[in-house]
Structure 1
């Protein structure tokens, strides 16, 4: 089998790329190692930036998002016994975020792909990627007990940090920058109404806590815990009591979460990672295959979406004009955005969490930064603009990659010349 773009990984980035390519008239094949049920139930991110929502709508995957997603216009910071709300629209020219679980995004994109897109193969275990430095790369995979080969014009790796695609780039040609944090998140899903209509980020002497949601009836909550924590050591009452303590406000000592049955409990290690470059020969890396952020800044899914939006534009330009200029600029354009998101996620993480070795001086610095956000419109605007997501065009233009409409004109003029 041969296709123009072979996509490894059927998560949100691989599926969104396949849909964007389909809409541009470019054929692709998606290879996903897991079965459909697993992919559609895999719990991950739940916050979508404006640009991600716009892309999903344009791809025809916005109907359920618009009907069931919850638009949020801000977040609340709790620290030093008080609360401060950061209002997004007033600080970002009207931009906002949506709460819509990654599981739902994946379901919507799978339904579209199976209805009228290119092949989407579940249970396709990729063994190796060869020839990415030639004009005919080959993906070797196993599907339904048979060894198969998919040849492509290009390969896109959307299969995560431990996937085959990233390691297909020779070690001498890639550099990975990493940071591991000295704490993890204990995350739960609970059949309980959210504590607040927007997300609450809490800095506490006991450690960080986050109150989020998946729907008006389901809460998603997190506690900072030591690395290596066993979820079994945290029974339900202990989790709820600790959340109450960390989210408490000084002027409302009786404040309590609305409790309900906990349906899922897991521990999430925290780390940052960037692999450069995001392209080698005819292999492109996207999403977690190229970068990982701690979840504090809600950037993971959105960075992955931004990668494939930029990449889909580049493939469309090549198909329309034969120009590979945007493909050649893909890594530089994406990495500029990635590092800005990495910095934001790092700042949010280190400001809100307590390091096990933290001193009183360190704590006072954290509180000073949080107070600055609460008292300075400029500091609040910086947080808000990064949280809702920088427009993709703003970042790519800064790196010398023309914005989409301009790129169209440039490419057409060059083709005519």
Structure 2
């Protein structure tokens, strides 16, 4: 098989890149290890930056997001069970949208189906070859039969554990990482959200987050040891602990119910540099991981797609490789800004092992400063709704 761009990974970044390339007349093939049902069963973040919504609009896949998504003009922060609001609209005139990653992926699959796009599921043994030449190719196995795709470029949208980043020589790649000493215990419940906007809560017992997927589906998190057994956390134990950490008015009105999904996710900050080697371009989690505090993971992947798509369009339309040559440096500038913001938000809102009363008092003072300073709030709002591309 021959195509212009071989995309490894059928999550939202790979599908969005394929969709945008198709609208520019550039051929692509998407390879995905899992089945479509498995991809669509993943529970992921649901906060879209204003720039991400604009990118979905450009791809022609934002209609359902605008119809069913929840625009948020602010968010709440809490310290010691008392909350205050950051007003995005008043501070910077921009907002975010709550619309689940699963729904974004579903919309992109539907768009690729309508366009007759090629998305191949169930591939195994994917390997990248001759990336440092002008004739790269990708091999894989499907139903026991070997296949080869010749292409001009390879986009590695295959996540942290995929083969794309591993294809870059070790002496070329520099990796930066910080692993946080706790996880997020998350519960999904068919209950009305406790607040119409997200609540991020700092408490001496640990962090908590109240979020939502829609008007009748809530997503809640509490900080917990990453190696805690899930059976330790009965629904009753989870709800009791969440109440302790939320602002008092939210705790009093929290509606609980049976969990329909429960998991503990580790937190880390990770960056791979460079994000390009030869004809290979890394996108999203293949190149960077952020803690979920601030919901930057999906949004960073989509901004990578923006830069790579622009570079590929210029290459095929104008014969200019300036955008492709600058891809890694350009994308990494935005990545490091998000890494910094997510690190700051995580360290400000969480309880760390060995944390002293002084450390907690510093966190309290940081949040009280935010509460009283419109300048500090504007800085948070600017980063939260998304820096410009």
Q: Per-residue CA shift, 1:297-327, capped at 9, x if unaligned? A: 1100000000001110110111111110100
Match of 2:189 in 1: 190
Q: Per-residue CA shift, 1:266-314, capped at 9, x if unaligned? A: 0000001000000000000000000000000110000000000111011
Secondary structure of residue in 2 paired with 1:120: strand
Given that 2:83 and 2:247 are in contact with CA atoms closer than 8 Å, whether structure 1 keeps it comes out as: no
CA distance in 1, matches of 2:141, 2:290: 31
Stretches of 4+ moved more than 2 A in 1? none
Match of 1:46 in 2: 46
Gap runs ≥5 in structure 1: 393-417
CA distance in 2, matches of 1:302, 1:123: 26
Given that 1:88 and 1:384 are in contact with CA atoms closer than 8 Å, whether structure 2 keeps it comes out as: yes
Secondary structure of residue in 1 paired with 2:148: strand
Given that 1:8 and 1:126 are in contact with CA atoms closer than 8 Å, whether structure 2 keeps it comes out as: no
**Bigger mean CA offset, 356-365 vs 119-128:** 119-128
Kindly tell me the number of residue pairs found equivalent between the two proteins: 389
Match of 1:23 in 2: 23
Please give the residue correspondences for 1:1-400 in structure 2 after superposition, counting only pairs within 5 Å: 1-92=1-92, 94-249=93-248, 252=249, 255-392=252-389
Change (3 A) 1:147 1:254: closer
TM-score (norm 1): 0.92
Q: Per-residue CA shift, 1:85-144, capped at 9, x if unaligned? A: 00011222x210011000000000011112214311111224311100011111111123
Change (3 A) 1:254 1:166: closer
Match of 1:400 in 2: none
TM-score (norm 2): 0.98
**Bigger mean CA offset, 225-234 vs 168-177:** 225-234
Change (3 A) 1:253 1:152: closer
Change (3 A) 1:255 1:139: same
Secondary structure of residue in 2 paired with 1:329: helix
Given that 2:81 and 2:245 are in contact with CA atoms closer than 8 Å, whether structure 1 keeps it comes out as: no
Secondary structure of residue in 2 paired with 1:198: coil
Q: CA RMSD in A?
A: 1.1
Given that 2:158 and 2:285 are in contact with CA atoms closer than 8 Å, whether structure 1 keeps it comes out as: yes
CA apart distance, 1:357: 1.1
Q: Per-residue CA shift, 1:369-390, capped at 9, x if unaligned? A: 1111111111100100000001
CA distance in 1, matches of 2:114, 2:250: 53
